[in-house]
C-alpha cells in the first residue's frame, strides 16, 4: 500500500498524474526563460536590428561583430577591454575562495567553540544583516582609506570577504551537526582545525555552494568599488567598464558592444547558479529559514 502511494505521489517515471502540473508549470517556465533568451538574442543582433522599430524579440541575422568590436575597442585611457575582464576574473575567483574559508571557519567558531566575545560577535553580525550597502558608504570609505587600500588591487578583495548573510547561513547549518560527533573526534586526538577541515567542511558543502554563489554575484557585478576607490584605470573591473560603454563611445555605436558585454556578464552568473542551485535549497532547509 505504501509503495502504491509513493508511486502516485512522487512517481519516478512519467505518470499521467503529472499532466496537470505540466500544464501549469510549462507556461510559467517559458515565461521566466524569456529574459534569458532575449539576452542571448540581443547580443548577436546587428546594429540595424538593435534600433529596429517595432523591436523584434528574436535575431534574424546573427553576427559576432558586437563581440569583435568589444574586444577591439579600448577605453579613453588606452586600457583594453581584456584587462578589465582579467581583473574581474582574478578578483572574483580570489574573493570566492577566501570568503568561503573566512565564513566557514568563523561559522565553525561561533557555532561550536566557546570564547568570551562569542555573543557580541553574533549580535554584531545579525545587526549587519539589517544594513544595505548604500547606508554604509561613508563609514566604509573612511575605513578603507585608513587601511591604505585606496587605489590598490586589495580594495576589491578585502571588503568582499565580510559576508554577514554567509556567516549566518553557515553558522545555522553547522548548528545542526551533533556535538557528540565533534567530541568523539576530540577523544581521538583531533585538533579544532582538524575537526573543521575533516568533519565540518565535508558536511556543509551545500552551505559553501551558497556562499560561492552569493560572493561571486556580488563581486562579479560590482562596479561601485572601481568607481569610488580606484583611480588607476588598469585596476578597474569589467562591470565598471560595461557601465561606461555608452558614455565613452557614441551611444549608437556602443549599443552593440553593450549587448555583447551584458551577455558576458550574465553567462558566469547563469552557469554557477545552474550547477549550485540544488545546494542553495539544501542550505535554506537546514538554516532555519522557512
What pLDDT is attached to residue 91?
93
Q: Which of 282, 285, 286, 284 is nearest to 176 (CA)?
A: 286
The DSSP symbol for 53 reads S
List C-alpha distances in Å: 242 to 5, 51, 150.
54, 19, 22
Bridge partners (DSSP) of residue 76 are: none
Task: List the chain residues with pLDDT less than 70.
Answer: 1-15, 74-77, 246-254, 278-290
pLDDT of residue 288: 47
Class of domain 79-286 as given by CATH: mainly alpha
CB 210 within 8 A of CB 281: no
Q: How many CB atoms lie within 10 A of CB 92?
A: 26
What is this structure's pTM?
0.78
The three grid cell numbers given for residue 202, joined into one nine-digit string:
565535508
Residue limits of CATH 1.10.3720.10 in the chain: 79-286
The per-residue pLDDT for 140 is 86
**pLDDT value of residue 6:** 44
What does the CA dihedral 123, 128, 131, 136 come to, rounded to 10 degrees?
130
Q: How many residues does the chain have?
A: 290
Using CA atoms in the order 14, 19, 24, 28, what is the torsion angle rounded to 10 degrees? 40
Task: Give pLDDT tens digits for 8-51.
Answer: 555 566 667 777 778 888 889 888 888 888 888 888 888 777 77
The count of other CB atoms within 10 Å of the CB of residue 214 is: 18
Give the span between the Cα atoms of 195 and 222, in whole angstroms.
35
Amino acid at each position: 500500500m505504501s509503495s502504491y502511494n509513493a508511486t502516485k505521489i512522487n512517481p519516478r517515471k512519467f505518470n499521467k498524474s503529472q499532466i496537470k502540473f505540466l500544464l501549469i508549470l510549462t507556461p510559467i517556465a517559458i515565461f521566466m526563460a524569456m529574459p534569458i533568451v532575449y539576452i542571448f538574442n540581443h547580443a548577436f543582433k546587428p546594429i540595424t536590428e538593435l534600433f529596429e522599430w517595432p523591436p523584434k524579440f528574436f535575431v534574424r541575422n546573427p553576427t559576432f561583430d558586437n563581440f569583435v568590436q568589444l574586444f577591439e575597442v579600448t577605453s579613453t585611457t588606452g586600457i583594453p577591454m581584456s584587462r578589465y575582464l582579467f581583473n574581474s576574473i582574478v578578483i572574483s575567483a580570489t574573493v570566492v575562495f577566501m570568503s568561503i574559508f573566512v565564513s566557514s571557519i568563523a561559522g565553525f567558531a561561533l557555532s561550536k567553540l566557546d570564547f568570551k566575545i562569542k555573543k557580541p560577535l553574533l549580535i554584531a553580525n545579525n545587526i549587519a544583516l539589517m544594513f544595505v550597502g548604500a547606508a554604509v558608504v561613508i563609514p566604509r570609505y573612511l575605513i578603507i582609506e585608513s587601511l591604505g587600500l585606496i587605489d590598490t588591487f586589495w580594495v576589491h578583495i578585502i571588503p568582499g570577504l565580510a559576508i554577514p548573510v554567509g556567516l549566518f547561513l553557515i553558522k545555522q547549518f553547522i548548528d545542526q551537526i551533533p556535538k557528540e560527533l565533534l567530541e568523539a573526534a576530540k577523544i581521538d586526538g583531533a585538533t579544532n582545525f582538524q575537526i573543521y577541515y575533516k568533519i565540518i567542511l565535508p558536511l556543509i558543502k551545500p552551505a559553501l555552494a551558497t556562499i560561492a554563489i552569493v560572493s561571486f554575484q556580488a563581486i562579479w557585478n560590482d562596479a561601485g568599488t572601481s568607481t569610488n576607490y580606484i583611480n588607476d584605470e588598469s585596476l578597474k573591473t569589467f562591470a565598471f567598464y560595461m557601465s561606461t560603454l555608452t558614455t565613452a563611445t557614441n551611444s549608437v555605436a556602443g549599443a552593440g558592444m553593450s549587448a555583447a558585454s551584458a551577455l558576458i556578464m550574465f553567462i558566469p552568473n547563469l552557469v554557477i547558479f545552474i550547477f549550485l542551485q540544488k545546494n542553495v535549497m539544501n542550505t535554506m532547509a537546514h538554516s532555519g529559514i522557512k
